[in-house]
Structure 1
Amino acid sequence: MQVAVIGLGAMGMGAARSCLRAGLDTVGCDFAAAAREAFIEAGGQAVGAADALPQGVEAVLLLVVNAAQTEAALFGPAGCAPRLAPGAVIIASATMGPDDARRLAARAEAMGLLYLDAPVSGGAAKAAEGAMTVMAAGSAAAFAKARPVLDAIATKVWELGEAVGAGATVKVVHQLLAGVHIAVAAEAMALGIRAGADPRQLYAVVTSAAGNSWMFENRMARVLEGDDAPRSAVDIFVKDLGLVAEMARGLNHPVPLASQAQQLFTAASAMGHGRADDGFVIRVWQALTGIPLPGK
């Protein structure tokens, strides 16, 4: 099966390499020459634009930033949709709102293509292992066509029904939790530091007790080491919590915690930390209170 992976970033590179390991004929696509070279070194093929993909690709996995990039890669002037095989499946894994997912699916179906609304979770580490979680919705035919790719990149595929938009909805709700958990983890660590607690002892206590969360354990470990290299950046949560607010507005549904968390990530971005690892939203508290952060 010939597969294309568009977006060779932190998660896309891992997914593309997982497809190679599974024996799929995989071509990567990314504007960045360094990303293309890294994938070629791993044994794959790579191109710099979606319209340079080989003719007849049977499945295209899009791990780009948002709906706009997904649409451009598929249907823009340099999009790949005209190069896909008849009946090929589009696996759209960018985080986007459900309305955008439905709109893109309609465009794909009008061209005789299958569409899987399939956002993912797991970060760069799980992508590299082929162990992501996929939250997918689409027709039985789309699932069947996408199965070799899904088996290569994920250990858990949630099949959320045939109605496109269900995957996007679940991912947006997931990102509400993820963003709020990261923000409150940073707030708790900052408060402890301000009060004079040893941050490493605080971390050890919390991670052994009921107040722990996966986000506290994962993100605050990086803060303790001063490691702000982005696995998932501050700006990702500015965007994703914006999607939460947008979906909630359409439903006339209040999301006060998500809205406050978005303001904190926005503040960190405005301070120049948008590309830092998202746990470094803690620098907002550092700026407000002057606390010393541990790490390098």
Structure 2
Amino acid sequence: MAQVSTVAVLGAGALGTAMATRLGDTGHEVRLWNRTEGRARVAAEHAAGVTAVVALGDAVSGASVVITVLRDGEAVAEVMSDAIGRLDSDAVWVQASTVGPRHASALADMARDHGVAYLDAPVSGSTAPAREGKLVWLVAGPEDVLAWVRPVLDDLGSSVLHVGRGVEGSAVKLAVNAWMAASTVAMSDVLSLCDTLGVDHATFVRVLEAGPLAMPYELQKVSLMDNASYAPGFAVRLALKDIELAAASATLSPLLQTVRDRLAATAAAGHDSDDLAAVDFLRRPPT
């Protein structure tokens, strides 16, 4: 295989845009495509090394690596059913969307049927880690394929974890995101308990930071919750989608059912596109 240099990023949402920008900054030639053409054009306008491409075929033809960063399994299947026949024979498809094991298996079958090298490779982390090259890759697939695309993954992530040879990456991602959502709901509820007990939130955080119970991700959420600042990071609707994907693969525990209900109620309250910290909105007294 040739040296990796040209990368097609399919999907110009928040994560896809951040990935494309980072890859352009680190010297890759990036073609950014989106089903809504204008979004890719805006994303690429001030991003060095990133070109917005209108035609899907033009985006993937000649690309060494094709990264799909789309909303769900149906979207990935629809896009790639059109694109896959246009990939070069030595291209690698890195499937980074969160789609769950069932969809990931179907996508892997599509790749195999077309003779395309495929990695099931969702990430842990959102837009800020992507821009900083600090994503955690959860990769399943052949080790030789992973080794070849490693320069691209390393430029985007601080860790590349090889978790299996099938679609284990998609399974691990659902577990990680369930933990993220559950811990965020738990933080909101514990802040409510602090209020009832008369415990200052800053004191609570200081105690956590002093010992092994500190969880940096959730400590960051405390200030967002206290300030009712829910600027988009990881959206409530995406967390809900991932919990539903988990429910399609396994019976949810009572705890995770409660988390799903809280996410659904938060989305119904108008916070579906807001950061996951918005689950705290429901416990706040009306102003």
The TM-score, its normalising length taken from structure 2, stands at: 0.89
| Distance (Å, rounded) in 2 between the aligned partners of 1:137 and 1:223 | 35
Deviations 1:52-82 (A, max 9, x none): 415222211112222112112211xxx3222
User: What amino acid maps onto 2:219 in structure 1?
Assistant: E
Kept in 1, the 8 Å contact 2:124–2:176? The answer is: no
| Distance (Å, rounded) in 1 between the aligned partners of 2:264 and 2:129 | 27
Matched residue of 1:156: which SS? strand
Does residue 96 in structure 1 map to residue 102 in structure 2? no
| Distance (Å, rounded) in 2 between the aligned partners of 1:12 and 1:202 | 36
Relative to structure 1, the CA distance from residue 246 to residue 54 in structure 2 (aligned partners, 3 Å threshold; closer, same or farther) is closer
State the match for 2:177 in structure 1. 175
Does residue 38 in structure 1 map to residue 43 in structure 2? yes
| Distance (Å, rounded) in 1 between the aligned partners of 2:109 and 2:90 | 14
What's the C-alpha RMSD, in Å, of the aligned pairs? 2.1
State the shift of 1:168 in Å: 0.8
Kept in 2, the 8 Å contact 1:190–1:291? The answer is: no
Higher mean C-alpha deviation, range 120-129 or range 49-58: 49-58
Kept in 2, the 8 Å contact 1:137–1:165? The answer is: yes
| Match 1:53 to one of 25, 47, 59 | 59
Does residue 285 in structure 1 map to residue 283 in structure 2? yes
Does residue 70 in structure 1 map to residue 76 in structure 2? yes
User: What amino acid maps onto 2:21 in structure 1?
Assistant: R
State the shift of 1:105 in Å: 0.7
Kept in 1, the 8 Å contact 2:182–2:259? The answer is: yes
Q: How many percent identity over aligned positions?
A: 27
The TM-score, its normalising length taken from structure 1, stands at: 0.87
Kept in 2, the 8 Å contact 1:8–1:36? The answer is: no
Kept in 2, the 8 Å contact 1:14–1:124? The answer is: yes
Higher mean C-alpha deviation, range 4-13 or range 172-181: 4-13
| Distance (Å, rounded) in 2 between the aligned partners of 1:229 and 1:35 | 21
| Match 1:105 to one of 108, 114, 120 | 108
Kept in 1, the 8 Å contact 2:60–2:83? The answer is: no
| Distance (Å, rounded) in 2 between the aligned partners of 1:2 and 1:34 | 21
Deviations 1:179-207 (A, max 9, x none): 11011011112332355544444444444
| Distance (Å, rounded) in 1 between the aligned partners of 2:28 and 2:241 | 32
Matched residue of 2:229: which SS? coil
User: What amino acid maps onto 1:107 in structure 2?
Assistant: M
Residues matched between the structures, number:
281
| Match 1:222 to one of 221, 224, 230 | 224
State the shift of 1:49 in Å: 5.3
State the shift of 1:50 in Å: 2.9
Give 5+ residue unaligned stretches, structure 1.
none
Deviations 1:157-185 (A, max 9, x none): 011232x2111111111112111101101
Does residue 21 in structure 1 map to residue 25 in structure 2? yes
| Distance (Å, rounded) in 2 between the aligned partners of 1:108 and 1:91 | 11
State the match for 1:263 in structure 2. 261
State the match for 1:232 in structure 2. 234
| Distance (Å, rounded) in 1 between the aligned partners of 2:37 and 2:185 | 31
Matched residue of 2:111: which SS? helix
State the match for 2:247 in structure 1. 245
| Distance (Å, rounded) in 2 between the aligned partners of 1:113 and 1:32 | 26
| Distance (Å, rounded) in 2 between the aligned partners of 1:160 and 1:207 | 30
Deviations 1:79-102 (A, max 9, x none): 322221113111011112112111
| Match 1:276 to one of 274, 277, 284 | 274
